[in-house]
Amino acid sequence: MQAILALEDGTIFPGEAFGATGTQWGEVVFNTGMNGYQEVLTDACCCGQIVVMTYPLIGNYGITKEDFNNKKIHVRSLVVREVCEKPSNWRYSETVDSFLKKENVIGLSGVDTRALTRRLRSFGTMRGVICAGAGDHDAQALVERAKNCPHLTGQDLISGVAPTEIRVYHGGARRVILLDFGAGSNIIRCLQERDCEVVVVPPKTTAKDILAANPDGIVLSGGPGDPVDAPYAVETVRELIGKKPLLGICLGHLILGLALGAMTYKMKFGHRGANHPVKDLDTGRVYITSHNHGFSIEETSMKELDIYVSHRNLNDGTVEGFKHNNLPVLSVQFHPEALPGPQDSVYIFDQFIAMMAGEGR
C-alpha cells in the first residue's frame, strides 16, 4: 500500500504503508538505537513526533507487553527502512505492524532512512506529514500542509501524557516523590530496587503538597516538549530546592536548570538513541547512555550560578548533567533508568540514595 512522507522543506520520501492508514503530522526526528523500538514507541518523550529509526531492520523481536515504557503509544508515526513481518522471539505477542494497527498509528517502510537522517542532521528537525493508504497523495499539497502545521514548541505537551491522580508503590525504607512529567515505568523499578517507597504525583502538584508528604527525596521525571512551556513546573521546583534532595532526569533536568536560573535552548536535531557516550567529569569515566530529548541547558548561563557541569556528551560537548555546589541537587540529561543493554549509568540512582542518606551534597 502506497504511503508518502512530505517535509516542510519540500523533500518527499515515498514508501509502503504498514500499521494504520490515514494522514498524520508531527515533528520529524531520528533515533539511532539499534534496539528498543518498543520503548521508543511508548515513550512519552516522543509525544507529537514522527520518529525515524536509523537501524535498517525494525520489528525483528516483535512486541512484548512486559517491555512497554508506558501503557500506550506516544509517537505520531514510525518511519523505517524495513519492517520485520516474522519476528523471532519466544516472548513476543504480536508484530509491530499489528501493534500499530491496533493503536491506530501510521507506519512507513521502504524509506531511504539514511538520506532522511542526513537531511535532518544537515538542516535540523522539521515538521512533516505522512499520508498512508486512502487519501490525497498530492506531494505538493502535503508539503504545504507540513509548512502550515503548528510547532510543538509553545505547547504544553506534559498535560497530554502525565497522570492526573496520585499512585503509591508501597514498601521501602525511604519515601520518594516522583513528580511525573511523563515518566517511564522503569524509574519506579529502579527506586524500588533501592528500598524506596515511590509516590507518583501529577505535574501540577504544588510544592506545599509535595513537602506535606514528608518525602526523603524528590525525583523529577522525563517528559515531552520545551521546559519553558511548563512554567508551573519550574515554579514548583524552585520552591523545592534546598528543602529535600532532588534528582532531575531529562525534562526534569531542564526544568531544574531553569528553576536554578539557567537557560535552555532547542537543539538542531537533538539526542535520540541508546548509544550516546557521556563522560562523568567527577570521575573521568565514560558511559554509554540512552537519550530522548531535543533541548539542552545553555552552559554559558550556568557561570554565575552555584552549580557546575558534572557530565558532558562526548559527541557534541553539550551539558549532560550538573550538581549543586552546596545543596543536595543532582541532575542528568540522559535516562539512567533506560538500561539499553549496558547498565552502567544506573549508578545515578545510587548517588541519589546516598544524598538522601546524607552522604552526598
Q: Point out the residues that are catalytic.
A: 250, 335, 337
Distance CA 143, CA 131 (A): 11
Q: Are strands 307-313 and 319-324 parallel, antiparallel or unpaired?
A: antiparallel
160, 182 Cβ separation under 8 angstroms: no
Which residues are bridge partners to 264 per DSSP?
297
Distance CA 62, CA 56 (A): 15
Cell of 172: 521501602
Contact partners, residue 81, CB within 8 Å, separation at least 6: 53, 56, 57, 58, 109, 110, 111, 112, 113
Phi and psi angles of residue 113, each rounded to the nearest 5 degrees, phi first: -70, -25
Where do the H-state alpha helices sit in the chain?
37-41, 96-103, 113-123, 139-147, 185-192, 207-212, 231-240, 251-260, 347-356
295, 333 Cβ separation under 8 angstroms: no
248, 178 Cβ separation under 8 angstroms: no
Distance CA 170, CA 287 (A): 32
46, 73 Cβ separation under 8 angstroms: no
Q: Which residue has the cell 537522517?
A: 117
Q: Which residue has the cell 534532595?
A: 245
Distance CA 48, CA 224 (A): 8
**CA contacts within 13 A on the Cβ side of 310:** 18
Question: CA-based angle 166:183:308, to the nearest 5?
Answer: 115
Region of residue 171 (left: phi > 0; alpha: psi -120 to 50; beta: else)? left
